[in-house]
Structure 1
Amino acid sequence: MDQRTETAPKAAVRQGYMSKNRLAVSLLFMMNGFVTGSWAPKIPEFKDRLGIGESILGLLILIFGVGSLVLMPIAGGFIARIGSEKVVKITAIILSPLLLLLTLVPNVWTAVIGMFLLGGFVGAMDVAMNANAVEVEKSMRRAIMSSCHAYWSLGGLIGAGIGGFLMARFGVLPHAIVVTGLCVAVLAIAWPMMLADQPHPAAAKEKLRLPMTPLPWLIGLMALFSMIPEGAVLDWGALYLRNELGASVELSGFGFAAFSATMAAMRFAGDHVRDRFGATRTLRICTGTALIGMVLAGLAPNAPVAIIGFAIAGIGISNMVPIAFSAGGNMPGLRPGIGLAVATFMGYSGMLFAPSLIGFIAEHSGFAVIFASIPVLFAVVLLLSHHAVHADHGKEH
């Protein structure tokens, strides 16, 4: 019998498994984004129900960030021991009812615990699902990370979009129950299709510790400087358009909308671009595009020009973080969970905490100076961009 007739069915079966693995990890990203997006429209009700002011609410949101940064490296350590599949299943199970828990907390002190857990398991699941996406990339020998992050953005959009409608029509508790039920349903669909990535026994017994070589931290710096601008546009873009460029309330919302739209669209296309041009060249093109867009936004004479600048910046920033995460999970001589935990920890710390510092600086300098100065961060990413070669699959590093 011809050898090709024997191997073709096996190849088809293997391709089928890889497609299921990709679908599973995409659903996990969508679920995580959906929980995060569903939380956003609950914030006003959460504040009123607990009878707290903006300052206490700000501290609770900070607790969310602290929870993420505490549990992210712990998740990375467990991934190195038992594999991303088990960690993502455990974290997803725990995450599913946490929005319901926050809907039922009776006072500020229980809210502190709830916010820490929500932030912690959103972050821990984030590390685990990114690590699983890295493993799927390796098995398929092609990039999928950008589209995974696009599914996260899509989940966030769905969560934020239906949240207000459900709460207005049915109430806060039914909304939380629906969110929990949808999370359980998505997890049930993804569960049997997840890629199992058990580590070697010797590696599983290794003592967990932070990497002592500079490479993981340099890639983490790339993630950090790629995510600070994203947080800046998210938290301060509308205020910049409104207060400094005279935009109407309606128009001021288009800054982040344009940024998000181009980012989501380019993330779906990003994997094909990376497979065609390689991670390093793609990162350089994206970083240069983001730099041009942010300079345009910061020096804009009016709101429409700034919105165009934010849209161009979204095109560039879209694939910078996925490439950094892929590189973090593919470093030679380092378990994927450890390298990825460093990249996600540093990246999300920038997105969670830098906007507060930006707000303080902007009180004295204005936001135009901030947005015009952010490209300095992109220049550093360009200097480090050769490390993105570790994001490529099936190539010599």
Structure 2
Amino acid sequence: MNDTLAAATHRRSPAITRERAAVALMFLMNGFLVGAWAPKIPEFAARLSLSESTLGLMILVFGIGSIVMMPVAGMQIARFGSARVTRVTAILVLPTLIFLSLVGSLWTGAIAIFLFGGLIGAMDVAMNANAVAVEKQMRRSIMSSCHAFWSLGGLFGSASGGLVMAWLGVLGHAGLVTLLAALMVLAAWPLLLADKPHPEEAGARVRLPRSALPWLIGLVALFSMIPEGAILDWGALYLRNELGASMQLSGLAFGAFSLTMAIMRFGGDLVRDRFGAVRTLRFCTLASIVGLLTAGFAVNSTMAIIGFAIAGIGISNMVPIAFSAAGNLPGMAQGIGLSVVTTMGYSGILVAPSAIGFIAEHVGLAAIFAGLPLLHLVVLCLSHLARHADRPAGVAVEK
């Protein structure tokens, strides 16, 4: 009977709704801005005469901005609802890419990148919260596909960035990206699900879990996301400075990675349901190791781009599996375990890549990418914890 009821509910919920399309468009817009930033990093560093270690500090400022603004966004979501916060942060983030293209000093560059990272992070929290609200309304999972749209946006932004900058210049590129992003916001604006505020959550007392389990799963998320942040922030610079790629070609580092990641995320739920979370995580981790080693030992830019593409296949579903496992830990409230794992995971993509600049100044970026698979060996050792991501026994499965 439970199966029949679940199936009936499933049939009553349409696969695509206005609200689902709107939040997916916001994910696309956010990923598009981040992807457009990736090929601008070498030009940004050259304009401000930044060494690799100083650029690492700038990337750290990006991460600090995100970490500062993420909890602020969470409090505002509790007060006003995710739809309103998503709209406001989307509007505020629009001009930041132009600001980054105009700055000419170290301090103005730091302010610009702090605002960019902070508003990107705040919007990330808000649109994820809105996606959760849409999931509850539809009674079906959409999170994986939403993150696939983010990867797709990253692909469009990064793959086109070098070509557009060569054609329109740095400022022209920023203006065109801002215009396209604004059109996405305008299209999604009236369709976002207007969820209700939850003011009681703003004052909720947070207690860190004493169990080691969420922290170990958080380590899986952390060591899965550090390579993603490394490719985003350092892939283009690696291709351009160490492999002699052109500006147009250097943007394909993150572009190839985003393409394979988006494809795999669209099919990730089906693969996991077919083979199980543990087996899927192990396959993805091994694929990422192969890709990172290929990129790190590349003799030319084409080989490195292929390596980043293979890494995208692997990393695509490593973090979603970790997040699902955290949300299904036995004997623990969903939000507690998930908050630990998401915080640890996002620190890997926001803060950890800043340290790469200091290390790369001494050993080079090739050694960095060749060494990142060591982190994935830890993920393989902890991969058995992914069993919590599978449906618990006894829960009705939709048919």
Corresponding letter in the other structure for 2:14? Q
Distance (Å, rounded) in 1 between the aligned partners of 2:81 and 2:227: 32
| Alignment correspondent of 1:150 | 148
Are the aligned partners of 1:222 and 1:381 in contact in 2 as well (CA < 8 Å)?
A: yes
| Alignment correspondent of 2:32 | 34
**Per-residue deviation, residues 307-343 of structure 1 (Å, max 9, x unmatched):** 655443332111112333444566675465x755544
Distance (Å, rounded) in 2 between the aligned partners of 1:43 and 1:23: 31
Distance (Å, rounded) in 2 between the aligned partners of 1:54 and 1:100: 19
Shift of 1:372: 5.0
Shift of 1:110: 4.0
Are the aligned partners of 1:87 and 1:128 in contact in 2 as well (CA < 8 Å)?
A: yes
Give the length in aligned residue pairs: 385
Partner SS for 1:348: helix
Are the aligned partners of 1:289 and 1:312 in contact in 2 as well (CA < 8 Å)?
A: yes
Shift of 1:11: 6.9
Corresponding letter in the other structure for 2:50? E
| Alignment correspondent of 2:21 | 23
Distance (Å, rounded) in 1 between the aligned partners of 2:162 and 2:298: 33
Residue in structure 1 matching 2:48, options 47, 52, 56: 52
CA shift in 2, pair 1:163/1:311, >3 Å: closer
Shift of 1:395: 6.9
Identity fraction in percent: 60
| Alignment correspondent of 2:86 | 88
Shift of 1:68: 1.3
Structure 1 residues 91-100 or 173-182, which shifts more? 173-182
Residue in structure 2 matching 1:376, options 374, 378, 381: 374
| Alignment correspondent of 1:179 | 177
Partner SS for 1:64: helix
Are the aligned partners of 1:298 and 1:368 in contact in 2 as well (CA < 8 Å)?
A: yes
Residue 207, structure 1, aligned to residue 217, structure 2 = no
Distance (Å, rounded) in 2 between the aligned partners of 1:44 and 1:126: 25
| Alignment correspondent of 2:116 | 118
| Alignment correspondent of 1:71 | 69
Are the aligned partners of 2:288 and 2:315 in contact in 1 as well (CA < 8 Å)?
A: yes
**Per-residue deviation, residues 146-185 of structure 1 (Å, max 9, x unmatched):** 3323322221232334555555655655654443443333
**Per-residue deviation, residues 65-119 of structure 1 (Å, max 9, x unmatched):** 2211222243345546655444323322322233344456575544433321111
Distance (Å, rounded) in 2 between the aligned partners of 1:242 and 1:103: 19
Are the aligned partners of 1:75 and 1:341 in contact in 2 as well (CA < 8 Å)?
A: no
Are the aligned partners of 1:134 and 1:330 in contact in 2 as well (CA < 8 Å)?
A: no
Distance (Å, rounded) in 1 between the aligned partners of 2:170 and 2:64: 26
CA shift in 2, pair 1:208/1:379, >3 Å: same
CA shift in 2, pair 1:280/1:142, >3 Å: farther
CA shift in 2, pair 1:323/1:33, >3 Å: same
Corresponding letter in the other structure for 1:91? T
Distance (Å, rounded) in 2 between the aligned partners of 1:22 and 1:358: 37
Gaps of 5+ in 1: none
Partner SS for 1:23: helix
Instruction: Give the CA RMSD over aligned residues.
Output: 4.4
| Alignment correspondent of 1:225 | 223
Are the aligned partners of 1:273 and 1:282 in contact in 2 as well (CA < 8 Å)?
A: yes
Shift of 1:261: 3.7
Gaps of 5+ in 2: none
Distance (Å, rounded) in 1 between the aligned partners of 2:239 and 2:174: 33
Q: How does 1:122-137 map to 2 (within 5 A)?
A: 122-137=120-135
Are the aligned partners of 2:29 and 2:153 in contact in 1 as well (CA < 8 Å)?
A: yes
CA shift in 2, pair 1:137/1:320, >3 Å: farther
Name the TM-score, length of structure 1 as normaliser: 0.74
**Per-residue deviation, residues 3-39 of structure 1 (Å, max 9, x unmatched):** x9xx98x9766426x6333322221111101122233
Distance (Å, rounded) in 2 between the aligned partners of 1:110 and 1:361: 25
Distance (Å, rounded) in 2 between the aligned partners of 1:327 and 1:233: 25
CA shift in 2, pair 1:23/1:211, >3 Å: farther
Corresponding letter in the other structure for 2:48? I
Distance (Å, rounded) in 1 between the aligned partners of 2:14 and 2:201: 28
Distance (Å, rounded) in 1 between the aligned partners of 2:131 and 2:260: 22
